[in-house]
Structure 1
């Protein structure tokens, strides 16, 4: 999240090379292909907007971040050099409130009772957020990757998220027969924070929006990363290469790579090591929100800072 603002200043030079594997100098391990992407017919206008965002942030007296110090301490050091104003890292925001849904879709609570029937850390939760759409060909690759992995999965398929389809009519022939005995469960929307906190959830295949990334960290769940646009690619790269709590599907949606990634995260030693690291971060989240923790103290500092303008 903090890295997004640092890299925005030089973003315009890379539009022609958005698929490049070349590292971004000074922002390793980010690659050019990890830079934030925006679907627009006016790339110059998008660049100008990013410049205005950076300039506005630099002029601000203070900036409030939905993050915590222990997660992005190195980025905070860089940010302080580029933006010499006050920074208050008081997140994760969602931990201050009970789980709520801002989606127009109703949460399907049957997903929780379905999870109740499975062993701990056995289920892969699959959800790509409330905005992203995919092609039918990609949907089919996802379906077969899930089926071929032979791992239990809870799959959120948002109505209209598959181009040209209302909901599940494009499921491939033979798919349902491959997920017998309750191995797969498909819903239109799920109570994500409850799902991630459920003991049966052992992995999260995500688009890596910042909220979803933080929610996964807060519940100690390793990730399979399929970013699309905006801040999702750098978030995914940090999850994979910096925090080492997930892995990126580098080639998009291909059933063989999907199957292999699921097994690596859910079954193999590599996934166990990811789980250990993300549980360590979960512990840091729990600590930072308590009295004298980094976010707790930063929130107190923010209150004092605001009140100082009334004195």
Structure 2
């Protein structure tokens, strides 16, 4: 029987793009399977700018963001997430009902972004398996899976230097590296409740898809595989690669062609948060002091030393031979892009898994450094730039090369990622649904 996969996404930051990348990959491999992708108006552009030739088995279905008409948003992510979650379950159900009527096929699998914990109950009501997709690293997933154990062991607001050595594979992580909502901050906020509920419900999943490869965190992978039904880890397919319909309109690559090898600092902090104004001043002063990249004035790029653009083809930029360092918020996709481009990182974390990833970059893998004190200062960034561009950069690139090779091998026909994808593909295309379901 041809299958019909319902896809529920979390419509914020890079989550829809990353999940859509996975869906595209599955859709190519299973052309007779229908994929109904729930999406809000704010992300509808994904289906106009990321069209794929010959791929006609993926279709978007509208869900409301529940922001009241005329309401002026404050810009706080928690506010818009709160609005969305209020009606999410009902809106998703309605979207899937429309998809079933449209395709004349009952839903046979429910693939959701992992934070949407209620996917477990919705799938159970529909009589179908639940397959959550985790877009970040395994260490961060382990933290959320073990949240109650961490709270019991450390207590709320525990000492920030205490390590998580009681969790397999997390001995390098400290309390200070944990996102708010684990042992600090508002534990009742939406950003805190979502991952906590997810961690509690993951054992109910038929499989948990992870956007990584096992060899990057082998101890954590082994631990989680022993506690979850299935954990197919797929070598990341990040959303930052340049879409065919969105060319390099700012001429980033041609500008990079004119620069010397390994001297350019590529600076990007994702699409949600950015440093404070005084940090941006410190950032500019540090870059000017190194004699590279950005001149005084920052936005007045007249000296040819730097370039500021609203969007850049990140993967192509990081693979360019002139780029010597990536100054980043250390979001998971950006870390994976840096590994693929073999570019060391300077990490300035903001929220969520950023600090956790920064710790791994610096102390687990040795492929970058964190900003001293966690915020940009002129002296701190100058020191970090000198360390990467003039000091340990070569060793860091060698270590990144080892990780990149592990990823390449995982993606070979007999590699772990390829085998996991085949397992997942067989799982979602061969399910025999009870005829009384839905």
TM surpasses 0.5 = yes
Relative to the length of structure 1, the TM-score reads 0.82
CA spacing shift, 1:175–1:234, aligned 2, 3 Å: same
Matched residue, 1:88: 232
The 2-side partners of 1:288 and 1:207 are apart by: 26
The C-alpha deviation readout for 1:164-208, integer Å capped at 9, x for no partner, is xxxxxxx9xx54699885222222221111111112112111001
Matched, 1:290 2:412: yes
Matched residue, 1:151: 292
CA spacing shift, 1:29–1:249, aligned 2, 3 Å: same
Relative to the length of structure 2, the TM-score reads 0.59
**Counterparts of residues 21-36 of structure 1 (less than 5 Å):** 21-26=161-166, 27-36=170-179
Q: Which runs of 5 or more residues in structure 2 are unaligned?
A: 1-136, 434-438
The SS at the match of 2:261 is: coil
CA spacing shift, 1:250–1:79, aligned 2, 3 Å: farther
**Counterparts of residues 24-173 of structure 1 (less than 5 Å):** 24-26=164-166, 27-37=170-180, 42-46=186-190, 47-81=192-226, 83-94=227-238, 99-100=242-243, 108-152=249-293
Structure 1 position 258, deviation (Å):
0.2
The 2-side partners of 1:152 and 1:261 are apart by: 15
The 1-side partners of 2:303 and 2:202 are apart by: 53
Matched residue, 2:390: 267
The C-alpha deviation readout for 1:95-116, integer Å capped at 9, x for no partner, is 9x9633999xx96532111100
Structure 1 position 152, deviation (Å):
3.0
Aligned residues: CA RMSD: 3.0
Is the contact made by 1:220 and 1:281 (CA closer than 8 Å) also made in structure 2?
no
CA spacing shift, 1:176–1:192, aligned 2, 3 Å: closer
Larger relative contact order (C-alpha < 8 A, sep ≥ 6)?
1
Structure 1 position 274, deviation (Å):
0.2
CA spacing shift, 1:181–1:204, aligned 2, 3 Å: same
Is the contact made by 2:301 and 2:308 (CA closer than 8 Å) also made in structure 1?
no
Is the contact made by 2:207 and 2:231 (CA closer than 8 Å) also made in structure 1?
yes
The SS at the match of 1:306 is: helix
The 2-side partners of 1:121 and 1:72 are apart by: 28
CA spacing shift, 1:259–1:294, aligned 2, 3 Å: same
The C-alpha deviation readout for 1:126-145, integer Å capped at 9, x for no partner, is 11110013321111111111
Is the contact made by 1:144 and 1:175 (CA closer than 8 Å) also made in structure 2?
no
Larger Rg: 2
**Count of residues in correspondence between the two structures:** 286
Matched residue, 1:222: 344
Structure 1 position 261, deviation (Å):
0.3
CA spacing shift, 1:15–1:94, aligned 2, 3 Å: same
Worse overlay, 8-17 or 59-68? 8-17
